[in-house]
Structure 1
Amino acid sequence: MEKLEQGMVEPVGEVNLHPGKLDFQNVMRKFQLMLESFFIRKGALLLIVGFLLGRALILAKLTPFSLPFFASVYLIKKDRAPLALIGLIAGAATLSLANAAFTFMITVCFLIVYRISQKWLRNEMKALPFYVASILGLGKVAESFILSHQLTIYDGMMIGVQSCLAFILTLIFLQSIPLLTLYKRRQLLKTEEIVCLIIMLASIMTGTIGWKIYDMSIEHIMARYLVMVFSFIAGATVGSTVGVVTGLIFTLASVSSFYHMSLLAFSGVLGGLLKEGRKIGVSFGLLIATLLIGMYGEGGGSLQLMLMETGAAIVLFLLTPQGLTSRLAKYIPGTPEYTAEQQKYMRKMRDVTAQRVSQFSNVFDALSKSFSQMDQISKEEESERELDYFMSTVTARTCQTCFKKDQCWAKNFGTTYAAMEEVIHQMDQNDGNISLRVSREWEKLCSRPKKVYETVAQELTFFQASQKLKKKVQESRQLVADQLLGVSEVMDNFAKEIQRERENYYKQEEQIIEAIQGFGIHIEQVEIYSLEPGNIDIEMAIPFCHGHGECEKLIAPMLTDILGETIVVKKEDCASHSGGFCHSTFRSSKAYTVETGFAHAAKDGGLISGDSYSTIELGLGKVALAISDGMGNGERAHYESKETLQLLQKILQSGIEEKVAIKSVNSILSLRTTDEIFSTLDLAMIDLKDAAAKFLKIGSTPSFIKRGQKIIKIQASNLPMGILQEFEVDVVDEQLKAGDLLIMMSDGVFEGPKHVENYDLWMKRKLHELETDDPQEVADLILEEVIRSRSDMIDDDMTVAVAKIKHNTPKWASIPVPKLKRRA
């Protein structure tokens, strides 16, 4: 359905109303594929490029392009090297036969030297430029001696210049030739590859120097066309760069073309600035540049010729297919097409990652089900099977050697089986003792009752040990199942988060920068990660503010007005010096806030309490308050309660659902030790968005909510953690309100008052008598009242946790920002 809405697939049964258009598109696509196959796969493009480079000149004399081009093609695409050589020799022959002969001879020398020394080369790519420069230099020296029988200083300088150019051109061709030989390129271009491509294209166009159509120079037309294409694709920066590089290459080829560099650079800048006008705008930029440069530097006749060349380039540019420019733009950094291509790649990687995480989640889910899956045999059948196995073991040691075996088990099987079953059951339930009635009935049937009693007692010892071991194995298996299920849920949620693509908020970022800077505050950078209501996430880089607090006092109130909801500073990293930047994170303010207070005392006034308490910051705007009471007092109880809270905090912060987290902690506590060490847990989770609270009480005392003069009692019936492996966690939901006081306490406080029969009424009365709503004062007063009631004696560890629910009122009022459209 989504694909249909996005137009990605054609609905079944839809009639094509334009068959002729579809046929034309198919023909054009086939024609395009044929051209690509002919020029790129079969190497015809290398033949053409070789021909133009073979006749290209530098300073009207030097020909440094041939050997670097052939060597690069030979190293990258060896099977296409003969075509490149044919093109080079043909191009050189258009200059002179001597030049063609020299090109052929120097290429043969390179092949001989390179093939001989190839087995000693470790890195052919790095060694190739040195080979080319050395062989071309030595070849030019030999040519000078053959032609003039001497070597002047001027000749030596020109040979050195040509060798250096060959070295550089080899590096350039190694970067750019793969662009001409790869049929389908998937990688995006680097900046170095773009520069090398421009230099190679300009070098190729120098091979057209001297070619004219109606007195118009082909090289001028092609150079202006190249500048317009890159200006249209990538803007003024790349367009001016192409103009400067192309003009420089033409100037080196012919000094008379020096003014042409100014024209190309200027047209690249104007064309890039006017690219919003599409092809017409870029063409207009070239026309303006031609008029300005032509009128300033040349006569009227030359201006007319320049305008004709510019007109030809514009016509050629306007005839260029949109698909070609869009395809080229995908590989140039900074273009929208390039950005879209990168986003497409990142989206693909994101989907692959999410799919793998989802697969792992399914694996963990399947493992959890396999561990938690019970046997197909019912408990009754399993019990009967164990009884039969137990009874067969007993009879093998007693009845097999008895003379009354046939009478008991062959003739009276049902009676004997029932009687022995009763004996085994009573001995199992009564620690090896049986009732007088069962004993008399069994002695009537059996001739060796004492032997049977002793055997049953011995086998019961082994059976009970085996049952305990089996129970431990089942508990361990259930623990693994719960953990795997929790991990599966976390990974599934993570996969869903990965698939939520980060939106682009460029327009909103510019609006925020404009609004805040219009107020007189300089903003270096704004990054918007989320504009979801209630979950806004914005990061800013602000110049050093000298500790004036601009983020909290000015920027956050302005964002509050712009975005339509309260924004606060979540995190702020201030610069250490005046030239640095402060990095601040702005988040949505939650509707409620929680203020807490704690009071505790150890038994007999000791330093170590068996109670532990904690405030846990969870994700998604939730806060948890927890109290754990270890069994007993002292260091061991403190360790148990502290370990319980630490395990719970880590599991909850990992994203596992609270019920699974508590069951996991319970399983760990029950399995890690054989000692009867238990701990209680009193957990309250408060959602700061709507003040909804969940209470999970594991063996803990009741909690109370004080709402004005009304006292609400919160309680649940769960055994302490570590006693039972399998138990259901009762969750009590309660909607809190602003001004509520939540009071949680350990059993030392709730059951602490002396000579009190009803602890609930006593605690409610004390809460009614409170004249303060400060959480810390309330906690201190409750603890003090309990200790006073016991004549200042502390007979147990005591802990009180108090939380006050308040509306989150921002410290600073919003600052109105004019002339800015707020987010709907």
Structure 2
Amino acid sequence: MQKIERELIFQAQPQGVMEGLFERIGAKIEHLFMKKGFLLVIVGFLLGRALILAKIAPFALPFFAAVFLMRKEKTGQAAIALVLGALSTSIPSAGFTFGSIGAFFIFHLIFSKISKNQLKMLPINVFVASLVTRLTLTYISMHEITYYDVMMSFIEAGLGYILTLIFIQSVPLLSTRRRKQALKNEEIICLIILFASVLTGTIGWSFYNISVEHVLSRYLVLLFAFVGGAAIGSTVGVVTGLILSLANVASLYQMSLLAFSGLLGGLLKDGKKYGVAIGLMIGTLLIGLYGEGTNELMPTIFESCLAMFMFFLTPQSFISRIAKFIPGTDEHAQEQQQYMRKIRDVTAKRVEQFSRLFQALSNSFNYHGLNGHEEDDQQKEIDYFLSNITEKTCQTCFRKSKCWEENFNTTYDYMVEIMHECENQPKKQSSSLQREWNNHCVKAAKVYEEIKQELSFYHANQRLKKQVKESRRLVADQLLGVSQVMEDFAKEIQRERENHQLQEDQIIEALAGMGIELGQIDIYSLKSGNVDIEISIPYCHGTGEAEKVIAPMLSDILGETIVVKKEECAPYPHGYCHVTLGSARAYVVETGVAHAAKGGALISGDCYSTIELGAGKYAIAISDGMGNGERAYLESNETLVLLQKILQSGIEEKVAIKSVNSVLSLRTTDEIFSTLDLAMIDLQDASVKFLKIGSSPSFIKRGEQIKKIEASNLPIGIIKDFEVDVVSEQLKSGDLLIMMSDGVFEGPSHVENYDVWMKRKLKEIQSEDPQAVADIILEEVIRTSGQIQDDMTVIVAKIKHNIPKWAAIPVYPSKKAQ
């Protein structure tokens, strides 16, 4: 049975086994080439063979210096590979390579004493070592040094200086695995130069009249043209062809062939590998006919065919790994997107962890108030209280055993009854209870006295425990509010941008049909009431094309009013203007404010605020600090500042007000309180929530109707725990919302009924302008009272439909975005 199961498993997963086998083989090959440095040995051998004009060898020493700086443990392998490569060309070349490496170590000891910055001194070291070695060997072999020899030695040393800077950038790419970092443009060019230099070491290798360096160079162009497109392909072709032509002047036309083939292959990369191969073949035919003529055309065609054959055999996984490091490729974009998605998920996870932490802290703080054992706790408190009394009175009494052992229940009930009587009637005791207790206890008077004394400590302890319990509940509510905000924030982080390609195409087509050209369009949200679109349009010369034409057309396309949220005009003609469009609010609020300080002073104890929150809500708040003057102003202003910051963070209104109350009540022991009158208006449906904390009533005026809004809550800071009464109302377009401080509502001193007087005055006002209404109310109150007896503030808000400045421009129904 087990044998059959093993066979079934093996047959069901052959592909997984083969994939795992290939992965293990690939990992071993990578370990051999990258970790063990076998790739550096191959590159070193070919660079040791590389020559320019068959005399100059500028590649070996810079490569050795780069390996010495970056991978010092591989220095010996690199040196042996370079010497062997040079020995394969000629003995003098091997002697120069060996001598220059030795001179490098000698000058390294000298320069290390001059400067500790190895990166800065390394190119100079290569330059000096190469120059001294070449001049010394020339003098030994020729017994003289000519100007030509000096010039060629300086050219060789100068090339070594430059190649050292290049190899420092490219050698680390051959010896370490880069997983996330994209290659910079400089690194790409340096890597291409290194590859071309390595190909120079293959010059002279051929079989059946086919040159190896031609095959490998064209394969390199095919590979990079397919990965990076026309720009990278042509760059690889130019650089590779230039370096190969420096090594062999007869191959100068190869630079044109490689550059043209890289350009064509990159342009035809949409045709996959076949398109890139066709580009190489076209370049080979054109440049081959121009450079070699028809007689030598067949070998170069065979070389291109062999390069294409190697290209077709190259695994797609290898090409994809290379593409991940080239900026601008789809693989690189996906890699970056995957990396950003991972960062986003990690961030969201951390935020969720903090949210759960705050929720757990909230549950922990709220546990003691929700366990449902209040009666048991109260009974224990009474037992502790009575134990303190008995310790001071009954402990030394000779009748202790009779009272507490034989008559425990009777004694306990009497003392509890006495305790409750002293709490309820501290100055007058029941004569019957006192008489019964005197008959029962020999120390009745002393027990009475001790109970009265201990009651003050008992009540203080009870108040303290109640305050702690209330503080716990406040902290629990605040932590729960923060937890909810962080949870919503984590969901926002994880919400990816939706794909609106179809809608983008429809909008572009519809606008193009009206003669409007769009440079770019990005749709972030099409949710009703929360549309978010960014576009770029050609320079409009300040005519307001986006506001007057594009937004009205989008309003008809999307079926809701779209307005320009932000516009950045191009700083120069023929540029592009960037416009942000979004949903218009269904309602707008127009406010008017009138205020005066007590006695005409400069500083008022009243503060007010009108802010539009990001969630499509409009907040109107009035805070009245206790008293007048600067201190009351600071108190009311701090209340509004705290409330505004907490509301903008996204915390619910009730929790926000409780948080402000707890901060103000715990902050100081001074009896400084402030009222708060808050109205939260939803700009989408005109609903309003009133949260009144010790404030005066508000009024809604709708034509001739006046409606009073009030709630019974103590001012902020008096008690640490209170329930916020929320009053909800539905406003209509044209309604006036009047909010005022107590200085305005209770301003008329001779008026007996403030409600009736205020309603009558509001009915008499004919103006619909909020500022005019606010000024009239304040003027009437001051004129009626004859003086400014208190700080006065009145805010009038008018609710109106949001009528766009420009009407929607209809387009064909078929063009509308679905």
AA paired with 2:123? Answer: P
TM-score (normalizing by structure 1)? 0.87
In the alignment, which residue of structure 2 is the partner of 1:7?
Answer: none
Mean alpha-carbon deviation: is it higher for 15-24 or for 558-567? Answer: 15-24
Per-residue deviation, residues 685-744 of structure 1 (Å, max 9, x unmatched): 122122232222223344343444555544433333233322222223333333333333
Aligned match for 2:417, one of 404, 416, 422: 422
AA paired with 2:681? Answer: I
Q: Does 1:341 align with 2:373?
A: no
Shift of 1:474: 3.6
In the alignment, which residue of structure 1 is the partner of 2:205?
Answer: 211
In the alignment, which residue of structure 1 is the partner of 2:613?
Answer: 618
Matches within 5 A, 1:59-458: 59-111=53-105, 114=108, 122-182=116-176, 185-374=179-368, 378-402=373-397, 405-430=400-425, 434-458=429-453
Whether the 8 Å CA contact 2:359–2:483 is kept in 1: the answer is yes
Gaps of 5+ in 2: 1-7
Distance in 2 between residues matched to 1:70 and 1:414, nearest whole Å: 101
Secondary structure at 1:624's aligned position in 2?
strand
Secondary structure at 1:680's aligned position in 2?
strand
Q: Does 1:775 align with 2:770?
A: yes
Aligned match for 1:647, one of 642, 649, 666: 642
Per-residue deviation, residues 628-656 of structure 1 (Å, max 9, x unmatched): 33345554444433332222111111111
Per-residue deviation, residues 649-678 of structure 1 (Å, max 9, x unmatched): 111111111111111112223223334443
Q: Does 1:732 align with 2:730?
A: no
Whether the 8 Å CA contact 2:225–2:266 is kept in 1: the answer is yes
AA paired with 1:481? Answer: A
Mean alpha-carbon deviation: is it higher for 763-772 or for 281-290? Answer: 763-772
Q: Does 1:668 align with 2:663?
A: yes
Per-residue deviation, residues 536-577 of structure 1 (Å, max 9, x unmatched): 334567788776545534554455456554332334567899
Matches within 5 A, 1:590-605: 590-603=585-598
Distance in 2 between residues matched to 1:793 and 1:17, nearest whole Å: 99
Aligned match for 2:42, one of 39, 48, 52: 48
Q: Does 1:462 align with 2:457?
A: yes
Distance in 2 between residues matched to 1:185 and 1:784, nearest whole Å: 74
Whether the 8 Å CA contact 1:76–1:178 is kept in 2: the answer is yes
Mean alpha-carbon deviation: is it higher for 344-353 or for 59-68? Answer: 59-68
Distance in 1 between residues matched to 2:510 and 2:78, nearest whole Å: 59
Distance in 1 between residues matched to 2:390 and 2:19, nearest whole Å: 91
AA paired with 1:347? Answer: R
Aligned match for 1:722, one of 692, 717, 737: 717
Shift of 1:439: 4.1
Shift of 1:791: 5.4
Aligned match for 2:683, one of 674, 682, 688: 688
Whether the 8 Å CA contact 1:41–1:183 is kept in 2: the answer is no
Shift of 1:763: 4.8
Whether the 8 Å CA contact 2:111–2:121 is kept in 1: the answer is no
Shift of 1:625: 1.3
Whether the 8 Å CA contact 2:127–2:160 is kept in 1: the answer is yes
Shift of 1:352: 1.3
Distance in 2 between residues matched to 1:214 and 1:679, nearest whole Å: 99
Whether the 8 Å CA contact 2:324–2:331 is kept in 1: the answer is yes
- After superposition, the CA RMSD in angstroms is 3.7
Aligned match for 2:481, one of 483, 486, 497: 486
Distance in 1 between residues matched to 2:58 and 2:29, nearest whole Å: 30
Distance in 2 between residues matched to 1:415 and 1:541, nearest whole Å: 91
Distance in 2 between residues matched to 1:117 and 1:755, nearest whole Å: 99
Distance in 2 between residues matched to 1:16 and 1:714, nearest whole Å: 78
Whether the 8 Å CA contact 1:358–1:495 is kept in 2: the answer is yes
Shift of 1:785: 4.9
In the alignment, which residue of structure 1 is the partner of 2:5?
Answer: none
TM-score (normalizing by structure 2)? 0.88
Secondary structure at 1:189's aligned position in 2?
coil
Mean alpha-carbon deviation: is it higher for 403-412 or for 132-141? Answer: 403-412
Distance in 2 between residues matched to 1:435 and 1:641, nearest whole Å: 50
Whether the 8 Å CA contact 2:226–2:269 is kept in 1: the answer is yes
AA paired with 2:661? Answer: N
**In the superposition, relative to structure 1, how do residues 260 and 559 fare at CA in structure 2: closer, same or farther (>3 Å)?**
farther
Whether the 8 Å CA contact 1:36–1:183 is kept in 2: the answer is no
Per-residue deviation, residues 475-515 of structure 1 (Å, max 9, x unmatched): 44444333333332222222222222345778978987898
Distance in 1 between residues matched to 2:551 and 2:678, nearest whole Å: 34
Distance in 2 between residues matched to 1:15 and 1:462, nearest whole Å: 79
In the alignment, which residue of structure 1 is the partner of 2:736?
Answer: 741
Distance in 2 between residues matched to 1:821 and 1:64, nearest whole Å: 65
**In the superposition, relative to structure 1, how do residues 77 and 631 fare at CA in structure 2: closer, same or farther (>3 Å)?**
closer
Secondary structure at 2:479's aligned position in 1?
helix
Aligned match for 1:57, one of 51, 56, 60: 51
Distance in 1 between residues matched to 2:114 and 2:482, nearest whole Å: 56
Mean alpha-carbon deviation: is it higher for 641-650 or for 458-467? Answer: 458-467
Distance in 2 between residues matched to 1:437 and 1:660, nearest whole Å: 52
**In the superposition, relative to structure 1, how do residues 20 and 452 fare at CA in structure 2: closer, same or farther (>3 Å)?**
closer
**In the superposition, relative to structure 1, how do residues 369 and 270 fare at CA in structure 2: closer, same or farther (>3 Å)?**
same
AA paired with 1:77? Answer: R
Whether the 8 Å CA contact 1:592–1:688 is kept in 2: the answer is yes
**In the superposition, relative to structure 1, how do residues 629 and 580 fare at CA in structure 2: closer, same or farther (>3 Å)?**
farther
**In the superposition, relative to structure 1, how do residues 591 and 135 fare at CA in structure 2: closer, same or farther (>3 Å)?**
same
How many residue pairs were aligned?
810
Matches within 5 A, 1:702-721: 702-721=697-716
Mean alpha-carbon deviation: is it higher for 535-544 or for 143-152? Answer: 535-544
AA paired with 1:658? Answer: E
Mean alpha-carbon deviation: is it higher for 743-752 or for 213-222? Answer: 743-752
Distance in 1 between residues matched to 2:406 and 2:37, nearest whole Å: 100
Shift of 1:761: 5.4
Q: Percent identity, aligned pairs only? A: 61
**In the superposition, relative to structure 1, how do residues 99 and 423 fare at CA in structure 2: closer, same or farther (>3 Å)?**
same
Secondary structure at 1:727's aligned position in 2?
coil
Whether the 8 Å CA contact 2:553–2:811 is kept in 1: the answer is yes
Whether the 8 Å CA contact 2:696–2:740 is kept in 1: the answer is yes
